[in-house]
Every structure is written in structure tokens, then in C-alpha cells.
Amino acid sequence: MTTKTSFKALAAGTALAALTASGAAAQDFDLSGTEVTIGTAQAQVLNIGTLRMIEILQGWGADVTRVELPTISGLEAIIADRVDVASRSSDEILIGQARGVDVVAIGAPISTMHYAIVSSPGVNEIADLDGKAIGTSGPGGFNGMLFRYILKQNGLTPEEDVAIVPVGGSSERAAAILAGQVQATVVYIDNWLALEAQGANAQLLGYVSDIVPGLSSRAVFAERAYIEENAELASAIACANLEVNHWINSSKEDFVSYTMDNVRGANEEAVSKFYDVAMQIGMFPTEPAALLDTSGYQKLADLLYDGGELDTELDASGFVDASYLEEAAGMGCGTGEMSG
């Protein structure tokens, strides 16, 4: 079931007070009377930026409803008119474009690939998976397609040299490693770090951002017509995106504290390590061209096409629009000056 969550209670906290104390921000973005529904994944370390972005928008006067989408994609929710804007996986934009749905990226809650490849002891490199099994979310899942690509790059044929076992979400895939059901899988970085913090009998083969560098990860997107009809909101979202990234880069302590307050079951040691990894791989840039990199979407589109997930080649320049981020950066967004 889709869960709707109002963030007005969060907005009353001290975190929002720090974000909206600046009079300049209220003057530059007056979103009074603006209503927007934003679809996201459940509250987790990876979408802390989206939660903070929503708070900033509310501080500028917008009436924001956050809709958790546990069973459908942001693309599907947009098509069904359940949300106006989605903050979800970048591949949803590509799938939409291939299906004739004109969705466009205007921001990104994270800008580098957010997966880690985890294995059981004894599997020390991808080649060691010959004759073994990997866990995926199931048919059509991006994580499975990505792992198939990595296997092929290492001379292994999926389903022949390596068994593919549908397991479920990232947490379920991590559990499958511990249970010995599979010998390797792709999980979110924070899931791997939680395993490590627990002393689990598993090891890191590598971060996907290092193994397949340059891939886009997650995006803030909406239909082109909606963006054009709500240009001020689009600019405000871009500004909030840049401001949140500046906030994240500025204070590990604040990031960890906020995450522990807002993500149920978060492990403080794992969150702290996640922050360090995020800084290492450049997950939260404040330069528009790095935050929303067209080449990363093109590489992702080419990978999906080559893997048979898309039946048409796509030109990312047609659906990645960094102009709102560039405009926002010109206003001073991404420096901390716009949100207090």
C-alpha cells in the first residue's frame, strides 16, 4: 500500500529552523499556494537528501506531500497521476522515454552509483563466481541487469556459468548472503556497511561506482509539461537540491544525527561509514554539471540498450535538463546562503 506522509511535523524541528532562517531564501522563493506531491522510496540513508529537500521547499511556503512508493516505480506513479515529481532511480527516466513518456531529470538526490557488490568468503573476485550463484531482485530489476553486465565483462555467462537467483530487495539480498543462499549480490552501500558493522560473514568485492564508473544513479524528475508549467517550483527544487548537498558536505555530524533521527533502525556506525564512502566517491556534488551529468545518463542508457533492457537507443541530452540547477547556482544556491 502506498503511504502518504506529511512532513509538517519534521518541519517544526530544529533542523528546519536552521535551513529556513535566512530571509533571503524566503524572498527568492515564495512558494505560498504551491502544492506538489513528491514520490520517493522509504526513508533510508540514500534518500536523506530528498527528505531535507522537502523540508526546504516547505520552508519556502510549498505544501508538499511525500508519497512512499514501496511497490511501484516513480515513473509508474507519475503515469497514474499519483505524484507530480519523483525522486527515484535514474533508469526509470530511460524506461519512460523508451515507452514514449516524456519525463525529464532536473536534479539528483545522489549523483554516483549507490551499489556495493558483496560476496561470501572465498569469492575474492568476480571470476570466482564461476559455478556459483548470485542474488538479484528478480526479472527486470536494474540490479540484476547491472550484475549480468559485470559478469559478462569478466568473461562469465549469466545462467550458464553463474546461476541467477531472484531474492527480493536489497535487505533480502543481504540476508541471502548470510544464509548461504547465494555467494554474491548487489546491495545498497548502506546495507553493506550495516553488514560490516554487525560483523557479518561477508566481504566487499567493490563499489559499483569503481567497477563501472560514471553511471547515473538517482534523479529528481517529472513530465516535461509539468516542469514547464511549474518553472518556479522546478527552480526551487534545483536550489534545494544544491543547498542540501552543500549541507551534507559541510557536516558529517549533522548528517549522521539527522539520519539517526529520521531513518528507522539506522546503525550509527554504518551511517558514519556511509558518509565517509559518499565523500570518497563524490555522491553529493554542488556543481550543476557534476550533480546532473548528462554523460552518466548516456552511459546508463547505452548499458541498458546493450543489455537488452531498452529496445531503442536514447540521446540523454534530450531528457537531462541542468538549466534549473545552473540558474539556481547563479542565484547562490549550493553555498548555504539560500537556506540559512
Contact 209, 128 (CB under 8 A): no
Predicted pLDDT at 15:
41
* pLDDT (tens digit per residue) in 91-147: 999 999 999 999 999 999 999 999 999 999 999 999 999 999 999 988 777 888 889
Predicted pLDDT at 143:
87
* pLDDT (tens digit per residue) in 144-189: 888 999 999 999 999 999 999 999 988 899 999 999 999 999 999 9
263 pLDDT band (50/70/90 cuts)? very high
* pLDDT (tens digit per residue) in 295-313: 999 999 998 898 788 899 9
Q: Do domains 3-112+215-330 and 115-211 have the same CATH topology?
A: yes
* pLDDT (tens digit per residue) in 40-56: 988 888 899 999 999 99
Q: Give dist(CA 223, CA 79) in Å, integer.
A: 9
Is the confidence at residue 57, as pLDDT, over 80?
Answer: yes
Ranges of each domain in the chain = 3-112+215-330, 115-211
Q: Give dist(CA 140, CA 82) in Å, integer.
A: 23
In order of 14, 90, 258, 267, the CA distances from 264 in angstroms are 19, 25, 11, 9
Sheet of strand 3-6, all strands in order from the earlier edge strand to the far edge = 3-6, 63-68, 35-40, 85-89, 218-223, 103-107
CATH 3.40.190.10 fits 115-211, yes or no: yes
For the segment(s) 3-112+215-330, the CATH number from 3.40.190.10, 1.10.260.40, 3.40.1190.20, 3.40.30.10 is 3.40.190.10
Q: Give dist(CA 103, CA 238) in Å, integer.
A: 16
Residues comprising the chain, all counted = 340
In order of 18, 103, 110, 142, 320, the CA distances from 77 in angstroms are 32, 12, 21, 18, 20
Is the confidence at residue 21, as pLDDT, over 70?
Answer: no
Is the confidence at residue 23, as pLDDT, over 50?
Answer: no
Is the confidence at residue 6, as pLDDT, over 80?
Answer: no
pTM across the whole model: 0.86
Rounded average pLDDT over 204-217: 93
Predicted pLDDT at 340:
59
C-alpha grid cell for residue 189?
Answer: 552501500
14 CB neighbour count, 10 Å cutoff: 7
162: Cβ–Cβ under 8 A, 6 or more apart, which residues? Answer: 129, 130, 131, 132, 133, 134, 151, 156
Amino acid making up residue 14 = T
Contact 70, 39 (CB under 8 A): no
Q: Give dist(CA 88, CA 74) in Å, integer.
A: 6
DSSP 297-327: HHHHHHHHHHTTS-SS---GGGTB--HHHHH
